[in-house]
Amino acid sequence: MLQDSAPRVPFARLVLRNGGTAIIGKLALVAGALALTACGSNTAREIRVVGSSTVYPFTTAVAEAFVNQDGGRKAPVVESIGTGGGIARFCAGVGWEYPDIANASRQMKKSEYALCQRNGVGEILQVQIGIDGVAIAEAKKGPGLHLSKRDLYLALAASPYGRPNRARMWRDVNPALPALPIQIMGPPSTSGTRDALVELILAPGCTAVDPEAKALKAQTSQAAFDERCKRIRDDGVYIDKGENDNLIVQGLSANPNALGVFGYSYLEENADRLEGAPIDGVVPSAQTIASGQYPGARPLYLYVKKRHLRAVPGLADFLALYSTMWSPNGRLASRGLIAAPEDVRAQAAQVIAQRRALKPAELH
C-alpha cells in the first residue's frame, strides 16, 4: 500500500507562506483559528475535487475505490460544475476552503494559470488521465448523416464568412446532405465539451472554408477570429441542454432527426440507442479516438495544487490510485475512459511520483 510519508503541513502555515492573497497579521490568525475550531479538525480535511462533468464519472470512480480500499479514509468530495467554473474555484487560492484538484476536459488556459499565480496558488501539477472524444451522435433510427468539419462549421457558426448564419436545412450547408432541419443539442458555454467542439471541429472547419480566417488568426488580437470561427449561433439551431448529458440522450430518442454533442462515454453507454455520426469519414470509437484519427479527440486532465499534496492527508495516495486505474484494461476503461498512449501515461505517472510542477510554457 502506498503511504504518504512526507511530513504534513497544517493549512495555517500554507496560508502564512502565501503572501500573495493577504497581509497576514494577528487578526487573520485569530480568525483562521476560529474558523478552524468551528469546522472541527480541518488539518485532516477530506480531498476536494471540482470541475468538468466529463471527468466527473472517472474521478468519482477513483474516489469510491479510494474509500473501498480502506473504510477509515475520509471520502473525497467531488463536485461537477464544468471545467471553466472548476478552474476558477481551483485558482481562487490555497488553504482549507479551496479545492485540491480541478477536473478539466481541456488544458488550462494561460489566463487561468495567471489567475492561479495572482492568487498565490503556486506550483500546479498537470496530470493527463486519458482521452475523451467529443462525440457527435444521432439516434439509431436517425438519417445517418455523414458530416465534415466544414459542414459542421457552416451549420453551427454564428457568422460564417462574416455574415449572419441563415442555414436552416442541412442541404443549405452542403447540397449532398438531405433536406432535414439542422438541430444540434449540446452543453452550455461553461462546458469543456463545448470548448472542445469549438476548438477541435469548428475552428479547423472555419480555416478550411474561409480564406480570410487565416489572415484573422495571424492578427495579434484574436477577437475577430473568435467572432468569425468560434462563436456558436444562438437562434435556436444549437439547443443548449445544460450540464445534464442524459437530457441530450433523451432528446435524441424523442427527435431522431437531431444531433447531439457529448462526451464519448455517454455514446458508449447508450450504444444500443445511439450511433456516432462520422466526421470526415471517421466514426467515433475507442480505437479512432485513441489513435487521434477522430477529429473530436481531446485529452482529459487533473490539475493538482502542489502545496496541498503535503497538507491534505491521502491526496498523494489518491493520485497514485488514479494512475493505477487509467490503463487500457483498467477500471476506468470500463467506465468509458479511453486510455492515453503508453508514453503519455508513463509521463503522467512520473508527474505524480516526482511531483513535477507544470511550466507555463507547456500551456498553449
Partner 1 sequence: MNNARATQSTQAQERAPTDWKTVAMQRRIRKRYRAERRFRFFGIAAVVLSAAFLAFLLVTMVAQGWRGFTRTEIMLPIDFPASGMMVERAQLDTAGADLALAGAGLENAVKSAAAAAFGPGGESYISDNAWVSVRKAIKHDASVLDRKTQMRVPASSEVDQAMAGRGTSEILAAVAKLKNAGLVSRHLNLDFLKVSDSTDPVAVGIWGALKGSLLTMFVTFLIAFPVGVLSAIYLEEYAPRNRWTDLIEVSINNLAAVPSIIFGLLGLAVFLGSWSLFGYRVGPLLPRSAALVGGLTLALMIMPVIVIASRNAIKAVPPSIRDAALGIGASPIQVVFHHVLPLAMPGILTGTIIGMARALGETAPLLLIGMRAFIVTPPGGLTDPATVLPVQIFLWSDEVSRGFVEKTSAAIIVLLVFLLAMNGLAIYLRNKFETRW
Using CB under 8 A as the criterion, which residues of the chain lie in contact with partner 1 when the complex forms?
1, 21-25, 27-28, 31, 35, 38-40, 42, 46, 48, 53, 56-57, 60-61, 63-64, 67-72, 74-80, 96-97, 243-246, 265-266, 269-270, 272, 331, 334-336
Least distance to partner 1 from the beta carbon of 15, Å? 9
Residue with cell 496530470: 127
Determine the Cα–Cα distance for residues 79 and 135; give it in Å rounded to an integer.
Answer: 23
Least distance to partner 1 from the beta carbon of 346, Å? 23
* HEC secondary structure over 326-342: CCCCCCCHHHCCECCCH
Minimum CB distance to partner 1 smaller for 64 or for 226: 64
Pairing of strands 274-276, 124-139: antiparallel
Minimum CB distance to partner 1 smaller for 67 or for 114: 67
Minimum CB distance to partner 1 smaller for 60 or for 327: 60
Least distance to partner 1 from the beta carbon of 22, Å? 4
Minimum CB distance to partner 1 smaller for 30 or for 353: 30
Least distance to partner 1 from the beta carbon of 114, Å? 21
Bridge partner list, 240 = 186
Least distance to partner 1 from the beta carbon of 9, Å? 19
Least distance to partner 1 from the beta carbon of 303, Å? 18
Least distance to partner 1 from the beta carbon of 253, Å? 12
Minimum CB distance to partner 1 smaller for 56 or for 294: 56
Determine the Cα–Cα distance for residues 181 and 344; give it in Å rounded to an integer.
Answer: 41
Minimum CB distance to partner 1 smaller for 39 or for 114: 39
Minimum CB distance to partner 1 smaller for 45 or for 149: 45
